[in-house]
C-alpha cells in the first residue's frame, strides 16, 4: 500500500505459503506463533526451524517463512504491470477577439481509474501506487488519486474601446486590458485509512480498513465554510473498521464520495500600455491572486481511523482522525491558502 512495493512484493507471505507449513492465519494460536522467535519452543513444536545455519534465532517465525528470509523488503523498480483508464466528455467554447472581447471556456466530465500506476516513479523509488492486496492484482482497480469528475475553466480578456466622447476622457479610458482566469473542479479523492490490524507483522503486506455500510464518511461538509476547523472534526471514524486479524480489507483505495475540499482558482489582472514614440512605451498592470479572498482548509488527517482526537488546553483540536491542521499563512485559523494579493508592475521599454 502507499506505493511501497507497488504491484509486486516478492518477499511477502501468501496464504498458500502459510498453508504449506500447516499455519492457518485465521487461527489465533497460529497468529501468536507467527510472532514468536523462530528459536522458541513453540516454533520447534510445530517443526519450524531457522531458515539456514547461523540464522538469528531471535527473528520471528513470520520472518523465517518469507521467500527470502535473510532480507526485508525487496523493491521492484519500473515493473510494467500497471494500467490506467480515462473516459471523459469534453467541451470547449471560444469567442475570438471582436469588440475587444476574447473568451475561452472548457469543461470536462471524466473518470480516471488505475491499477498500480498512480505516479511515475522517480529514480530509486517504487512509485506512488496504492495497493490493497498484492496477491489479488485484479482487485486493485479503483479510481485514481487524480480523479476529477468535473472541471470547468474560463479565461476572459477584454480591451476597452475608444470612446466617441470627450477626447481627453477617451484617452484616459481606452486600451485598458482586463483579464480573468477561473477554475472550478471537484476535490481530489482522499486515501482510505490504513488498517491497524497488524497484517504487516504476519504477511509483510499492508491493507486498507473496511468501509462500514450506512455510516457517513463526513461529519461536516468540507466545502460549506460553515464550521471552525480548530474545534470541529470533519471525518467520521465510525465509517471505517479493521478487517479481521490476518485478513486483507475489502475497500478500494479511493472512493468518489470521499474527497478533499474543492480548491478554486480565481485570478484577475488589469493593465495598459502607453506608446510615446515608435520605440518607446510604458506598460502598467496589476495582477490579483485569489481575487475573491477564498479560504481553503488543509486536508483532514485521514491515515488512521483509530487515531484519538487530542485537544489543547483552550479546547482547540491538535490531532486525531478527521482533524484539520492549523498550517499555512493564516495558521491560527487552520487555513492553507495565501490571502488575496496584488502585484503592481511597471515597465518602460525603449
- Cα Rg of the chain (Å, integer): 29
Q: Are 89 and 70 in contact (CB under 8 A)?
A: no
pLDDT at 8: 81
pLDDT at 183: 96
- pTM score, two decimals? 0.83
For 44-48, what is the mean pLDDT? 95
* Mean pLDDT value of segment 184-193: 95
What is the domain extent for residue 338? 82-192+208-349
pLDDT for 5 beyond 60: no
Range 18-40 average pLDDT: 95
- Residue 16 in domain: no
Q: Which of 115-119, 124-128, 159-163, 304-308 has the lowest mean pLDDT?
A: 124-128
**252: Cα within 13 Å, side-chain hemisphere:** 16
Q: Is residue 68 domain-resident?
A: no
Is the pLDDT at 98 greater than 60? The verdict is yes
Domain assignment of residue 35, yes or no = no
The answer on pLDDT for 94 being more than 80 is: yes
Q: What is the mean pLDDT of residues 319-330?
A: 73
| In-domain check, residue 48 | no
187 lies in some domain: yes
What mean pLDDT comes out for the span 53-58?
94
pLDDT digits (tens, 9 = 90+) for 198-213: 899 999 988 999 999 9
C-alpha cell of residue 226: 460553515
Torsions phi, psi of 25, nearest 5? -65, -20
Cβ atoms within 10 Å of 13's Cβ, excluding its own: 22
Computed over every residue of the chain, the mean pLDDT equals 87
User: Does residue 181 register a pLDDT over 70?
Assistant: yes
Report the pLDDT value the prediction gives residue 123, as an integer from 0 to 100: 55
Nearest to 3 by CA among 139, 121, 141, 113: 121
- Identify the pLDDT of residue 121: 54
- Rounded to the nearest angstrom, the gap between the alpha carbon of residue 327 and the centroid of all alpha carbons in its chain is 17
Q: Is the per-residue pLDDT at 182 higher than 80?
A: yes
Inside any domain, residue 310: yes
Rounded average pLDDT over 259-265: 93
3-state secondary structure of 15: helix
Whether pLDDT at 329 is above 50: no
For residue 327, tell me if it sits in a domain: yes
Predicted pLDDT of residue 125: 54
The answer, yes or no, to whether residue 335 has pLDDT greater than 50, is no
What is the domain count for the chain?
A: 1
Report if residue 261 sits inside a domain.
Answer: yes
Amino acid at each position: 500500500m502507499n506505493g511501497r512495493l507497488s504491484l509486486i512484493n516478492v518477499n511477502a507471505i501468501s496464504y498458500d505459503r502459510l498453508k504449506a507449513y500447516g499455519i492457518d492465519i485465521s487461527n489465533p494460536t497460529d497468529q501468536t506463533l507467527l510472532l514468536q522467535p523462530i528459536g522458541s519452543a513453540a516454533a520447534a513444536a510445530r517443526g519450524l526451524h531457522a531458515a539456514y545455519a547461523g540464522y538469528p534465532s531471535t527473528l520471528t517465525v513470520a520472518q523465517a517463512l518469507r521467500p527470502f528470509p535473510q532480507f526485508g523488503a525487496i523493491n521492484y523498480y519500473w515493473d510494467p504491470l500497471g494500467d490506467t483508464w480515462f473516459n471523459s466528455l469534453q467541451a470547449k467554447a471560444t469567442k475570438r477577439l471582436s469588440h475587444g472581447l476574447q473568451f475561452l471556456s472548457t469543461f470536462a466530465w471524466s473518470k480516471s481509474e488505475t491499477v498500480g500506476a498512480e505516479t511515475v516513479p522517480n529514480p530509486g523509488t517504487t512509485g506512488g501506487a496504492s495497493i490493497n492486496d498484492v496477491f489479488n492484482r485484479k482487485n486493485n482497480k479503483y479510481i485514481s488519486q487524480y480523479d476529477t469528475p468535473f472541471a470547468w475553466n474560463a479565461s476572459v480578456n477584454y480591451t476597452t474601446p475608444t470612446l466617441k466622447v470627450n477626447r481627453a476622457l477617451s484617452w484616459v479610458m481606452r486600451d485598458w486590458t482586463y483579464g480573468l482566469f477561473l477554475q472550478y473542479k471537484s476535490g481530489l479523492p482522499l486515501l482510505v485509512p490504513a488498517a491497524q490490524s497488524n497484517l504487516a507483522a504476519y504477511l509483510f503486506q499492508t491493507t486498507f480498513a473496511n468501509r462500514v455500510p450506512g455510516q457517513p464518511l463526513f461529519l461536516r461538509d468540507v466545502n460549506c465554510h460553515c464550521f471552525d476547523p480548530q474545534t470541529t472534526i470533519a471525518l467520521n471514524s465510525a465509517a471505517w473498521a479493521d478487517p479481521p486479524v490476518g485478513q486483507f480489507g475489502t475497500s478500494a483505495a479511493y472512493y468518489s464520495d470521499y474527497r478533499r475540499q474543492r480548491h478554486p482558482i480565481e485570478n484577475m489582472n488589469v493593465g495598459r500600455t502607453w506608446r510615446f514614440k515608435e520605440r518607446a512605451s510604458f506598460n502598467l498592470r496589476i495582477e490579483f491572486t485569489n481575487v475573491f479572498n477564498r479560504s481553503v482548509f488543509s486536508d483532514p488527517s485521514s491515515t488512521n481511523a483509530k487515531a484519538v482526537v487530542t485537544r489543547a488546553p483552550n479546547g482547540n483540536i491538535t490531532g486525531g482522525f478527521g482533524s484539520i491542521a492549523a498550517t499555512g499563512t493564516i495558521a491560527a485559523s487552520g487555513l492553507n491558502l495565501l490571502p488575496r494579493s496584488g502585484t503592481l508592475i511597471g515597465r518602460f521599454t525603449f
